[in-house]
Structure formats: C-alpha cells, structure tokens
Amino acid sequence: MKKIAIPLLLILAACGEYTIESQQDPKADFSQYKTWCWLNNCTPSFEGPDYIYSKAVLEDITNAIAEEMYNKGYEQGDENSDLMLNYHVVIKEDSALNSIVHEEALPLWEHYDESERYYHFLKGTLIIDVADRELGQIVFRSITEKYLPAHPKMNYAEVKEGIKRALEDLPKRTKTEEKPL
C-alpha cells in the first residue's frame, strides 16, 4: 500500500491545483493603461533561488506572461510604458510524513517496514507585480502557489496555463474611444 501511495501522491501533486490570490488597487483605472514593459530597463529578470535557474524555463515564463498581457489587450512597449511588470519565483523544499494507518493499534506493528517514511516535494510560488509607472505603485499583484514533485519537468503548455490562471483577475484593457482631432 505504501509503495502505491507515494507515487500516487506525487502524481496528484504534479497535477495539483493552483492556489491563486490576486489583489488589485480599487482606485486604478485600467482603461487608461495601454502599454507595459519589464521593470528593469524593459528586460525580464529572474528573482529566485540560483539552484533552480534555468534559462529555458525563465524564457517560457517570460514568453507566457508577454502572451497573456497581449491577450488582455496590453501592448509591450518601452521604458515609458504605462505599466511596469516584474515577477519573482520562490521554491521551497518540503517534506511530509507518510503514515500507515492500522485498524488495530498493535505494539507489534510499531517498527514494521521502517523504510523511507517521508516523501519530499517542492512548493513553488510565482509572484507577478504590475505597477503604474507614473505613480510608482503596484496596481495588481498575483501570488500563485502549486505543489510540485521534487524534480519537476514542466512543458510550455503547463507554464502557459499557470500564467493564464495567475493573470486571470487582471482586468482586460477596455479601449476608450478616441476623439478625432
């Protein structure tokens, strides 16, 4: 039973749901925003632990964010853009005790099968901040968490889905009618 439970739990963790918390400045008028750019000189930067640095994964995250911003109606611009965007990746190693439940609490079972009692996994957090360049304050923040297997391998479709879910509450840009001169 134990040998089945650990792989099953890891599979469920890999397919697990995202926990998403988003905050939006209620005073922000998103209809006024048209363009966005990365915070550091319009160049995406990675903030997270060095041991998970992977250029390919970071490019996937960067491309997925840019694609989702485009889908929301925001155009990628230069350092004078209306919105400045930054993201952070936090990975925390964790473990949990794998317990065996018996119907009868017999003392003979106490040390039975003393093999690995813990399983190890990662808790990944992606924080996306969207700031109003002119005001210099954050107008939208998304914090997305997901449990991952100890050695995750994510493809672009999974990254894209995660970013889409993370930015789900970011208001779509409503185009204001421009008056002719």
Measured CA to CA, the distance from residue 117 to residue 9 in angstroms comes to 14
Predicted confidence at residue 135, as pLDDT, reads: 94
Say if 78 falls within a structural domain.
yes
CB atoms within 10 A of CB 126: 24
Confidence class of residue 11 from pLDDT cuts 50, 70 and 90?
very low
Say if 35 falls within a structural domain.
yes
Specify which residues 127 forms β-bridges with.
Answer: 88, 143
Say if 173 falls within a structural domain.
no
CB atoms within 10 A of CB 39: 19
Confidence class of residue 2 from pLDDT cuts 50, 70 and 90?
very low
CATH number of residue 29's parent domain: 3.30.160
Q: What is the SS3 assignment for 132?
A: strand
> Which amino acid, 85?
L
Confidence class of residue 15 from pLDDT cuts 50, 70 and 90?
very low
Say if 139 falls within a structural domain.
yes
Using one digit for the tens of pLDDT, what is the confidence trace for 72-99? 999 999 989 999 999 988 888 877 777 6
Average pLDDT over residues 34-57: 76
Using one digit for the tens of pLDDT, what is the confidence trace for 120-173? 778 888 999 999 999 999 999 999 998 877 666 778 888 899 999 999 999 998
Say if 172 falls within a structural domain.
no
Domain count, the chain: 1
Instruction: Write out the residue range of the structural domain in which residue 36 sits.
Output: 2-166
Say if 16 falls within a structural domain.
yes
Q: Determine which of 9-13, 96-100, 110-114 has the lowest per-residue pLDDT on average.
A: 9-13
Say if 180 falls within a structural domain.
no
Rg (CA), the chain: 22
pTM: 0.74
